[in-house]
């Protein structure tokens, strides 16, 4: 992924962004193998489903990728 890519987390029950795209605070990190990020889940509600989205630039256009990366916080 390009260096300026960032992520967001959306609550699937309310369709609201819990963590919105931010070029500073949700910017993806990069190592020799791939892109990655660290997500602290302390503030997320248990027994809810969330989706991870990635915003990046492809061929000069901004694209939000939704590849159905869903997860659930369990008690």
- List, for residues 9-49, the tens digit of each pLDDT value: 999 999 999 999 999 999 999 999 999 999 998 889 999 99
The answer to whether 26 touches 5, Cβ cutoff 8 Å, is no
- pTM tops 0.85: yes
Q: Strand ranges (DSSP E) for the chain?
A: 6-11, 17-19, 29-30, 35-36, 49-58, 61-72
């Amino acid at each position: 992924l390009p260096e300026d890519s960032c992520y967001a987390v959306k609550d699937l029950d309310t369709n609201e962004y819990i963590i919105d795209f931010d070029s500073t605070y949700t910017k993806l990190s990069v190592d020799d193998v791939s892109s990655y990020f660290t997500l602290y889940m302390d503030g997320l509600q248990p027994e809810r489903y969330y989706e991870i989205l990635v915003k990046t630039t492809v061929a000069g256009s901004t694209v939000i990728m939704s590849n159905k990366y869903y997860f659930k916080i369990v008690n």
